[in-house]
Structure 1
Amino acid sequence: MKDVNPALSYAYRKSVPQYKKNDSYDAQCVARVAINELNKLPDAMSEDMYWTLSQLVNRRANLKTHHIRLKNQLHEQVCVAYPSYKQFFQDIGRPTALYFWEHYPSPRLLRGKTVEELAEELIPVSHNQFSTRKCQIILDAVKADGDTTRDYQPERDEITRGLVKDVRHYVEQLEAVDKSIADFLPRFECPLNTIQGVSDTTVAKLLSEIGDIRRFPNADKVANYAGIAPVNFSSAGKGDDKHSKQGNRRLQGTIYFLAIQMIQLSSKGLPRNPAFYAYYQRQLARGKTKPQALILISRRLISIIYGMLKNKTEYVMPKVQDNLG
């Protein structure tokens, strides 16, 4: 059984004289690609633990999308009642913020509240992360905003409270699926989380797209599958290598995001991965653009990931003087 990338069948569909788009012709395009490219296609993943992991990853992505949408809706309500709320709650969806919006969806409910009373209420909720000073900032910001009460304010407040409950629900669902992923990953005996900065979620995304590494004979095949390996366009000996647009976009995006993480600097100015950071700086010095340098890092990461999965070996941070040169 082979894995046919949708981009390949789409390219075949566009190449025929008369463009068609229906289920039966889509199936014919997939069949044509499978016949013509059989030896180049990777083996398909069977419905085993990799398929189950991919379902967990997809569910997490869907939950995250709904969670963000609800936070945006909550922002629409809160920014009317509290125009300056960013002064005291940078993240509208944090537990302390959600508690505040639930109990004080509009400033009218804060009337008569002293700093000490508000602090006594919020500090335990925040597990002592909140302070009396922050409560003073809240009351000062509310006073500076003036009267923000609108018509039908009680009904507006109920909308805010309802959104708070919805956001909490999705937070709980995300925590549950994250736990399921964390509990499921040991079955794969995967060493990828030994790479600094690689979380269980990132490991799950990689494994769900790559599948059983044995279906790829070498790292080049994985790079081709991800669409990270450059494609040569040439004629009469002249041409150039260009970025492929036919790879697995989800895998490509995960690797590219990981490449960005590898060159990030901490608050103290220290690189997360000194070897990758030094390699990145050398590529920039050679005239590469930042996106081009990140693609090169992505390709290096694929080789590392392939070797780690193939040999079940942990990641060893290379010394900068002996790095990826």
Structure 2
Amino acid sequence: MQRRENYLYIGMDLHKDTHTAVLVNCWNEKLDAIVIENRPSEFSKLAKKVDKAALRLNLSPIYGLENAYGYGRSLAVWLIEKGYVVKDVNPSLAYDQRKSAPMMKKNDEHDAYCVATVLINQLHTLPDAKPEDNHWTLSQLVNRRDTLVKDGIRLKNGLHEQVSVAYPSYRRFFCDIDRKTALYFWKHYPSPIHLRNKPVDELFEEFKAIASNTTKRKIEWIFECVHHDGDTIRDYQESRDFITQSLARCLEQQKEEIALVDCEIEKMLKYFDYQLTTIPGVSIATASKLIAEIGDIRRFPSADKLARYAGIAPIKFSSGGKGKEQSSKQGNRELHGLFYFLAVSMVTVPKTGKPNQPIFYAYYQRKISEGKTKPQALVCIMRRLVNIVYGMMKNKAEYRPFAVEDHVVEEQ
């Protein structure tokens, strides 16, 4: 067991441009404060000052970084490579420490002191910082993809706004506004004025070069819809046409970028050797998000711990021996959302009447027959998925369907 009096505690408040360090002994006495710039050349200056103070006091330095996977990741990696002990301090713990003071105050030095206090009080329970490059790189790729997807939604909404004026019936001849043929059409024919004197056969040949399954009847239908809409040309139409063409070009570029990011994500997934895509309904994008949010699976000793981290496990609220379990609103909400939407996809029944995943659907129906509400049954599906994902990542195994007979469930 580590003895608290043997350490010099360094609490770090981390920011984009600068880091603030406060040196504290085991009696919560502030000894010194150091401010450095957030760049590797400054890290050695911090280490030298800390080592000098630790040598003078005959103590071993131990660092506590508030969120060692954000702005302080570079510092955490540098310290670990130099052999220092680095603990990851959850920002919520430092926040609670600040609130516990009779008069709450907020500045970088005090924040660093609160981190050091948490480090002292929870020395034996705080996790070691393990900022691995593979998870960090994958999470950045996932964030980049999410940003591109959100940009695509914004661009599509803008394109809908523009073409709904020029082509009021556009939904009748283009179900998806961002398909290849649709984007080609918006770029070259942003308003009906560009279709004047345009032969049907010529437009048919243009579309056929993009999509071989295009029919001549489709082109005739476009002209019929445009004729039925009437005159939609207004003043300054050229400027609005430019907006439509610009949005179409951006959407094309956005789709190309997503394809490139997906290829890079697929290459990164090979380094992990996980087989999450063998789960029905789990795409490469979903698998990469799960791995990025979970991180190193070895930090969770059991599936129960992973479920609690994702906010899926219930929490018991009691006092005086009385209480009940309630659903948790804490935990990693991104991971919680991933398991939720994955659970919904597992029990969805399309128009054909056949469930997407009969095994999960049977398990879902069984839970409802036992008296659970639909949201509660979905939570049961989520909890089962946590067990499956945990087992697959822990053992690097493929998905193996579980059985629902005799109330016995077995998963990989």
What TM-score, normalized to structure 2?
Answer: 0.72
Q: In 2, are the aligned partners of 1:276 and 1:324 still within 8 Å (CA)?
A: no
Counterparts in 2 of 1:128-207, with a 5 A limit? 128=213, 130-207=214-291
Deviation, 1:117, is 2.8
Q: In 2, are the aligned partners of 1:119 and 1:131 still within 8 Å (CA)?
A: yes
Q: Percent identity?
A: 57
**How far does the alpha carbon of each residue in 1:109-150 deviate from its partner, in whole angstroms, 9 at most, with x for none?**
11123433322221221232x222222221121112111111
The one-letter code matched in structure 1 to 2:156 is K
**How far does the alpha carbon of each residue in 1:252-309 deviate from its partner, in whole angstroms, 9 at most, with x for none?**
1111111112112345322232221111112223332322221221111111111111
Range with bigger deviation, 3-12 or 195-204: 3-12
Q: Counterpart in 2 of 1:252?
A: 336
Are residues 288 and 249 of structure 1, via their aligned partners in 2, closer, same or farther at CA, if it must alter by over 3 Å? same
The one-letter code matched in structure 2 to 1:48 is D
Cα distance in 2 for partners of 1:78, 1:45 equals: 50
Are residues 127 and 19 of structure 1, via their aligned partners in 2, closer, same or farther at CA, if it must alter by over 3 Å? farther
Cα distance in 1 for partners of 2:342, 2:115 equals: 31
Alignment of 1:79 onto 2:181: no
Are residues 278 and 40 of structure 1, via their aligned partners in 2, closer, same or farther at CA, if it must alter by over 3 Å? farther
Counterparts in 2 of 1:47-62, with a 5 A limit? 47-62=132-147
Deviation, 1:318, is 2.6
Q: In 2, are the aligned partners of 1:43 and 1:215 still within 8 Å (CA)?
A: no
Cα distance in 1 for partners of 2:344, 2:96 equals: 30
Q: Give the secondary-structure state (helix, strand or coil) at the position aligned to 1:233.
A: strand
Cα distance in 2 for partners of 1:10, 1:246 equals: 15
**How far does the alpha carbon of each residue in 1:71-95 deviate from its partner, in whole angstroms, 9 at most, with x for none?**
1111111111111111111211111
Q: Which has the higher contact order (CA 8 A, sep 6+)?
A: 1
Are residues 69 and 277 of structure 1, via their aligned partners in 2, closer, same or farther at CA, if it must alter by over 3 Å? same
The structure 2 residue matched to 1:238, chosen from 316, 319, 322, is 322
Q: Give the secondary-structure state (helix, strand or coil) at the position aligned to 1:314.
A: coil
Are residues 314 and 32 of structure 1, via their aligned partners in 2, closer, same or farther at CA, if it must alter by over 3 Å? farther
Cα distance in 2 for partners of 1:281, 1:143 equals: 51
Q: Counterpart in 2 of 1:261?
A: 345
Q: Counterpart in 2 of 1:64?
A: 149
Cα distance in 2 for partners of 1:158, 1:94 equals: 19
Q: Give the secondary-structure state (helix, strand or coil) at the position aligned to 1:240.
A: strand
**How far does the alpha carbon of each residue in 1:1-20 deviate from its partner, in whole angstroms, 9 at most, with x for none?**
55555555556656666565
Q: Give the secondary-structure state (helix, strand or coil) at the position aligned to 1:239.
A: strand
Q: In 1, are the aligned partners of 2:276 and 2:282 still within 8 Å (CA)?
A: yes
Are residues 186 and 147 of structure 1, via their aligned partners in 2, closer, same or farther at CA, if it must alter by over 3 Å? same
Unaligned runs of 5+ in 1: none
The one-letter code matched in structure 1 to 2:168 is P
Are residues 5 and 274 of structure 1, via their aligned partners in 2, closer, same or farther at CA, if it must alter by over 3 Å? farther
Q: Counterpart in 2 of 1:304?
A: 388
Are residues 223 and 139 of structure 1, via their aligned partners in 2, closer, same or farther at CA, if it must alter by over 3 Å? same
Deviation, 1:225, is 1.2
**How far does the alpha carbon of each residue in 1:299-322 deviate from its partner, in whole angstroms, 9 at most, with x for none?**
111111111111122111234436
Cα distance in 2 for partners of 1:244, 1:2 equals: 26
The one-letter code matched in structure 2 to 1:116 is D
**How far does the alpha carbon of each residue in 1:2-60 deviate from its partner, in whole angstroms, 9 at most, with x for none?**
55555555566566665655555555555555555565555544132111111111111
Deviation, 1:204, is 0.7
Deviation, 1:216, is 1.0
Q: In 2, are the aligned partners of 1:5 and 1:248 still within 8 Å (CA)?
A: no
* Coordinate RMSD, CA, aligned: 2.4
Range with bigger deviation, 136-145 or 189-198: 136-145
Cα distance in 2 for partners of 1:309, 1:303 equals: 10
Unaligned runs of 5+ in 2: 1-85
Deviation, 1:188, is 0.5
Q: Which structure dedicates a bigger proportion of its chain to helix?
A: 1
The structure 2 residue matched to 1:93, chosen from 157, 172, 178, is 178
- Which of 1 and 2 has greater Rg? 2
Aligned length: 324
